Structure 1
């Protein structure tokens, strides 16, 4: 423990070498912002879980089932099973990445400190990645304890034991996976599951409160869960440990404590014998050269999906609109959100692709490559991806709720809008190609950011809203209403096509004069 404290002290010294008042103030601001962000997410969760707990404090025996529990116990089963697993899947790769990402690992291994202590120190730096799902579980457990008037002290002890178990289990899996998982793979997976947690937060905050209003529907869907929650040996089931720990069950306390001790022993033994010098496994040398028929397309697609943030943006542009479509029982809200996200993210993605060329510019100009083709790919590939997002949302929305088929015609003008957004992003970046980069990303001026957002919002709404208006057209509707509903999307499409052609010409000229 003394060595671990020493390592944490070393980390704070190396991360804060300058003890000036300005530096201290900056660190205080960062801590305050982090705390503010956690509180901002926690408050609506507290309100939602507490309201749901009071609403579902209904004995299932009163609903005709031969069980002793309450209706809310269903969520005490579902949430830990999903968010607990999500936390582990986020923590494990994050820990592995933090172990091998460290630049000072070689120095640390020369110190008279056990490898297990160094592993725990470095791996614990990745614990913040699992904050969101674990925060949900902590709030859920506390709200359950307060709503059902349990011994709150025992509930807190149970929650702490469960959290320690999750952390140590993640450490154990991490110490094993560190032998096989590459650093880059670990980073990608940790980012992906972090974004999955954010999406899950959005779903939970919007879907489950509506679902909790219908007791019969909940019971019909999940009544089989009570057969798992209750029984002579139900406390042994891992899926039940969270509920029993919050209730203060001594058997689960002992079980979690014993497992935590075992995991701690495994971590110490496993990490004292494996090599932490490198996170890169030896790759097999490929004989021969494989040449793709479409090397530029392959390169652009790899650049897109190599970045976990892009995977999040692409999936978020589908899931978030579908959640709103399902909640509001209206395709308008879903189509509006996916149109806005698709147009905005397409511009950002095209800028990201041209930013990659800046890192090696002017090497690209020296290659025997048609620059027109390069520009078209950087504009068309992001547009195709987010057009598919738009189509998927409309198709799934059509299956979820009653949708007027006419909304599918909006795909045609939206293709033009999304393509213009992509070309506009390229044009914005090449307007000042010498701009500074921030890490692996790019930096836009405030005016450029506002131009992208304002332009995409106006064009997207100009397509979606008229199609919704068309579903409400009646024989008595005024002429101007009919003309606006029928003509505006196609007018925007024509304008967008003209803008795409002129913008791509500007992009071509600017990339040719880029020094």
Structure 2
């Protein structure tokens, strides 16, 4: 379609960069093409490594199951059911989010281009956000087809039909429900999908050493495989041996595409506000803000609304919980959480602080001192990360993988999180980033990574060796204690230095 090709040529492929491009000077068409090519190459290079790993890990699994074709097929149906569900939910969510009115949509609506084409364009662009899911799906399908030695042509056609079916149904749902759900919930949903994909990636890592001959003894796995292979699982109909079911999938795909095209011209990109019949009391004497403090309440609301915060908080927790189920020691499971969360705590404090600094001229008019304004930005990340750490420890005790020695990590993590929050808040003021969600400059980011990760490794790993009673003798024992002591002293010194630096920079703002 000519209109669609024009949009791809002059507007671009990346929704996140369109505003920045429009604010700059208009460039020639060959520059737009090169930007589109670079974006596609970037997607390929970011997706390819994980897709290759999924292919290799799945190939080993299906190769081991090739002696039992029915079991291999059951496991494949379970895998594609999960990836298909993630693809549909993610595609619908990002598609609905793309329909919200913004500068790009306002610009496109002024052009002599049909609304159907604009809707289709935004849906195709949002497909880039599903690159990881598609990479996982295609890699798993290739691994199964090659390992089990399927009919190559028939298998490829069925896989293509399945992707068309998922895309057409997702596009229809995105058009039907576009504008119903708030953008905040859609962003959070997309973040949760990414975290779930990371969890599945870790599951495939752990499956490398599983004895598949014992899987049949686990009733939960048997029930899950039975449901994935039932005739009621729509997500596996494309691979059915019954031609009538495959034909039905094709008809459903064509019907969904037809309905999508008809409804695409009626998508309302414009924001619509309904008049409220009830008068709202905007200033309540007994509100959460009055109880918690206005600044603390404001920062807490910002945290809940920001999907980046959700990722930064949940990713270390999910990774640590996964390690609990795959390792025999609670210490080896808590260590990655502390190391990752220490860095993320600095980013969280930096985001909260930079969000305040952006409106510095307005904030100066408030009857509040800068130190009282910054203090909640330090308290919130530290409190949340410590709370998550305690929750992980409680879960460890429930699953009987708790050790008393691990309690010492709680005290250490408090000190590390406090220093991390100080550093993050300081550099978000001293060396802010240029992008909206980039709290630090590139140089400051590398410096923060070096300090936080260096101290975390320098304290945690020597302590692990001592607690686990590793056989260290002579110079190794001395070096281990020197590293632990030196890191502890560095932690205390850096805490004092950055506390003074942050205090001075806040006093200069008064």
Same fold (TM > 0.5): yes
Q: Which residue does 1:312 correspond to in 2? A: 311
Cα 1:490–1:237, aligned 2, differ >3 Å: closer, same or farther?
Answer: same
CA contact (8 A) 2:382 2:414 kept: yes
Higher mean Cα deviation, 492-501 or 29-38? 492-501
1:287-331 deviation per Cα after TM superposition (whole angstroms, max 9, x unaligned): 341351221111112222322112111111111233234334333
> Shift in Å at residue 77 of structure 1?
2.9
Is residue 2:459 matched to residue 1:450? no
- Structure 1 counterpart SS, 2:28: coil
Q: Which residue does 1:252 correspond to in 2? A: 245
CA contact (8 A) 2:10 2:32 kept: no
CA contact (8 A) 1:343 1:417 kept: yes
> Shift in Å at residue 184 of structure 1?
4.3
| Separation of aligned partners in 2, 1:229 and 1:358 | 51
> Shift in Å at residue 451 of structure 1?
2.8
Cα 1:395–1:462, aligned 2, differ >3 Å: closer, same or farther?
Answer: farther
CA contact (8 A) 1:130 1:194 kept: no
CA contact (8 A) 2:389 2:410 kept: yes
Q: Which residue does 1:441 correspond to in 2? A: 438
CA contact (8 A) 1:342 1:390 kept: no
| Separation of aligned partners in 2, 1:219 and 1:101 | 53
Higher mean Cα deviation, 32-41 or 50-59? 32-41
Q: Which residue does 2:407 correspond to in 1? A: 408
Compute the RMSD of aligned alpha carbons. 3.4
> Shift in Å at residue 53 of structure 1?
0.5
1:144-178 deviation per Cα after TM superposition (whole angstroms, max 9, x unaligned): 22222221111111111111111111111111111
Q: Which residue does 1:508 correspond to in 2? A: 503
CA contact (8 A) 1:317 1:341 kept: yes
Is residue 2:333 matched to residue 1:334? yes
Cα 1:301–1:346, aligned 2, differ >3 Å: closer, same or farther?
Answer: same
1:461-494 deviation per Cα after TM superposition (whole angstroms, max 9, x unaligned): 34323442343449x9879989998998798667
Normalised to the residue count of structure 2, the TM-score between the two structures is 0.85
| Separation of aligned partners in 1, 2:2 and 2:427 | 54
| Separation of aligned partners in 2, 1:512 and 1:283 | 45
| Separation of aligned partners in 1, 2:264 and 2:490 | 62
Task: Tell me how many residue pairs correspond in the alignment.
Answer: 493
Higher mean Cα deviation, 504-513 or 323-332? 323-332
CA contact (8 A) 1:74 1:222 kept: no
User: Given the alignment, which residue of 43, 51, 69 partners 1:42?
Assistant: 51
| Separation of aligned partners in 1, 2:34 and 2:259 | 41
Q: Which residue does 1:176 correspond to in 2? A: 176
- Structure 2 counterpart SS, 1:413: helix
Is residue 2:282 matched to residue 1:282? no
Normalised to the residue count of structure 1, the TM-score between the two structures is 0.84
Cα 1:126–1:508, aligned 2, differ >3 Å: closer, same or farther?
Answer: same
Q: Which residue does 1:350 correspond to in 2? A: 349
> Shift in Å at residue 513 of structure 1?
1.3
| Separation of aligned partners in 2, 1:485 and 1:283 | 67
Listed as ranges, the gaps of 5+ residues in structure 1 are: 60-68
CA contact (8 A) 2:330 2:402 kept: yes
Listed as ranges, the gaps of 5+ residues in structure 2 are: none
| Separation of aligned partners in 2, 1:58 and 1:295 | 65
Q: Which residue does 1:382 correspond to in 2? A: 381
Cα 1:254–1:495, aligned 2, differ >3 Å: closer, same or farther?
Answer: same
Q: Which residue does 1:64 correspond to in 2? A: none
| Separation of aligned partners in 2, 1:216 and 1:370 | 64
Higher mean Cα deviation, 505-514 or 338-347? 505-514
Higher mean Cα deviation, 297-306 or 180-189? 180-189
1:118-158 deviation per Cα after TM superposition (whole angstroms, max 9, x unaligned): 32222222112222223222222222222222211111111
Cα 1:31–1:134, aligned 2, differ >3 Å: closer, same or farther?
Answer: closer
CA contact (8 A) 1:171 1:267 kept: yes
Higher mean Cα deviation, 71-80 or 99-108? 99-108
Q: Which residue does 1:53 correspond to in 2? A: 62
> Shift in Å at residue 227 of structure 1?
4.6
